Structure 1
């Protein structure tokens, strides 16, 4: 048994693949295996993988027809034999002492998994920058130096990024949790994250930047294509997990609001030619609540902007009407707030 199994799904990653694999092979912790699953790449990725595997026995290469990163990670998990498992993307970078540091921490504190920070790198501008999602400052502040469980986190559960590459997992724990990545969908890491989080008894936050996330327009989560509608399926699966683990009643108000917010955020960022498709999917999903037994509870729990998004979506049949209706609603509310503020000043 090796100390760490590193899992890397690969799809058309020829531009950065050798660099990313180099970050693993050159780790200060050398007792590892690198399991690469080529997900039907149409570029030179598979040849690069096979060539690298020929020069380092720690690399295993598998190939499958294109089924998505979630399926590739699930396949790789069946081959993993390490004490711990780490998920690496084929276009990113990891600090060379990261695995040694994370392994030692998990062994010392008997952790199910540890969480750490990531920095962003803009491939177009060459600049590094932080984002709240990957810095997780609230978690760092409140859980610094503590070993904690899911029950200790409260609303902080929504301040942890769902990305698998910012976590270092005990492999036996992952297998016992039954966690799997969603297959055939982007945003597939969500359901895996929530399943392991609900099961975790011993977690730790390492307040260090160990990972560099490469950002560029061709990435699956940055392309803004038709697959963005996957977010609707993923969010509903997340909610099903909250129900499964008896956490829905505790977090339902937050979940209702985040559902609307997350879906609308993807709608705003999808390419124009796919907006009507996304809108139709959004309306179809939102409309299911109209006759749902929880409708009154749902609608009363929504914050103003999310209620405005929901109402405009239900009312309208196309993106132009939806955008205009929502804009008017938000503008009217802004004016009301400004008027109330002025009126309040005069009353004083």
Structure 2
């Protein structure tokens, strides 16, 4: 029985050495219970795919993310999550389709042919999912501004069409902004002005969208500031000058987060100290401690 179908591109020469895994060129040829969309640059561990398959079938998962990047720190990974439970936290984890093992039956005939959009079809229509702890699967990011803007806008519509979940919509606003900001920052210097103009065109359209008020109210202050810098500047030079203030805001936010972590750690230490003081007091006041006091006095004199 084929457990996993690995779908590869025409230029990919990957072969399977495990009989439970088949290599196919298209989704329609896949006969496995679960499918994996392989990038030609993936260094694929077939044994790990079988481990992921075992966890997916044991827990009846619609998909399993092959890494835990962005999942809550210091929290044990659960066997299953459901859509409503996870909700806005989708945007902290690895959202790439090539980081997922997906139940074949979840992928409907009317899903998009574009893998990035198919990925969101899966996320929004699936119910049960989980994660694997494997840092070898690195999240992939958009590398083209035009494509990223188009896909993020189409994803916005998918979220509205599938589930009009207010919390999910609000979190998506920041996800979109942070992806586009990251792309802008990764641009070579000679391409930044063109990226600015692309962002300006997209952001200006957003102002006239019926959901713009929700975006303005619910996105973070620094993301909204970046948005305003793009939309309301006359040219690229003015935008670049204003960015200095944006990066000050970013630094301040990082300091606030660091202070928040320090406060949490201090609170944890204080709780431990209080617990130890209580234990010590209980020991000193216990009957056994009083009974053995003469023996301890003798031992100190010896």
Q: TM-score, normalised by structure 2?
A: 0.72
Measured in 2, the distance between the counterparts of 1:300 and 1:100 equals 45
Measured in 1, the distance between the counterparts of 2:149 and 2:165 equals 18
Contact 1:91 1:214 in 2 (8 A): no
Contact 2:66 2:137 in 1 (8 A): no
- In the other structure, the counterpart of 2:6 is 6
Q: Which has the higher helix share?
A: 2
1:149-200 C-alpha deviation (Å, 9 max, x unpaired): 2122133212231222322111112236x43352xxxxx52x2222111111
Matches within 5 A, 1:8-23: 8-9=8-9, 21=14
Cα gap change, 1:214/1:30 in structure 2, threshold over 3 Å: closer, same or farther? farther
Measured in 2, the distance between the counterparts of 1:333 and 1:108 equals 43
Would you say 1:259 and 2:176 are equivalent positions? yes
Would you say 1:314 and 2:231 are equivalent positions? yes
1:215-253 C-alpha deviation (Å, 9 max, x unpaired): 9xxxxx68x5xx332111111111111101223423333
* 1:293 Cα offset (Å): 3.1
- In the other structure, the counterpart of 2:292 is none
* 1:328 Cα offset (Å): 3.6
2:81 is paired with a residue whose SS is: coil
Q: TM-score, normalised by structure 1?
A: 0.63
* 1:6 Cα offset (Å): 0.6
- In the other structure, the counterpart of 1:25 is 16
Cα gap change, 1:248/1:320 in structure 2, threshold over 3 Å: closer, same or farther? farther
Extract unaligned runs of 5+ from structure 2: 256-302
Measured in 2, the distance between the counterparts of 1:326 and 1:180 equals 37
- In the other structure, the counterpart of 1:65 is none
Matches within 5 A, 1:210-249: 211-213=136-138, 227-249=144-166
Cα gap change, 1:272/1:248 in structure 2, threshold over 3 Å: closer, same or farther? farther
* 1:334 Cα offset (Å): 7.3
Cα gap change, 1:140/1:196 in structure 2, threshold over 3 Å: closer, same or farther? farther
Structure having the higher Rg: 2
Q: Select the residue among 107, 127, 130 that pairs with 1:201.
A: 127
Q: Which has the higher contact order (CA 8 A, sep 6+)?
A: 1
- In the other structure, the counterpart of 2:294 is none
Measured in 2, the distance between the counterparts of 1:213 and 1:250 equals 27
Contact 2:7 2:36 in 1 (8 A): yes
Q: Select the residue among 104, 113, 122 that pairs with 1:171.
A: 104
Measured in 1, the distance between the counterparts of 2:73 and 2:129 equals 12
* 1:101 Cα offset (Å): 1.7
* 1:213 Cα offset (Å): 4.9
Measured in 2, the distance between the counterparts of 1:332 and 1:83 equals 48
* 1:297 Cα offset (Å): 3.2
1:251-283 C-alpha deviation (Å, 9 max, x unpaired): 333222222222121111122333222221211
Number of aligned residue pairs: give it: 253
Would you say 1:138 and 2:129 are equivalent positions? no
* 1:141 Cα offset (Å): 2.5
1:151 is paired with a residue whose SS is: helix
Measured in 2, the distance between the counterparts of 1:193 and 1:169 equals 10
Measured in 2, the distance between the counterparts of 1:307 and 1:100 equals 44
Cα gap change, 1:94/1:136 in structure 2, threshold over 3 Å: closer, same or farther? farther
Contact 1:140 1:205 in 2 (8 A): no
Extract unaligned runs of 5+ from structure 1: 12-16, 37-75, 118-133, 183-187, 216-220, 339-348
1:207 is paired with a residue whose SS is: coil
- In the other structure, the counterpart of 1:87 is 37
Cα gap change, 1:333/1:141 in structure 2, threshold over 3 Å: closer, same or farther? closer
- In the other structure, the counterpart of 2:83 is 150
Q: Which has the higher strand share?
A: 1
Cα gap change, 1:78/1:136 in structure 2, threshold over 3 Å: closer, same or farther? same
- In the other structure, the counterpart of 1:100 is 50
2:201 is paired with a residue whose SS is: helix
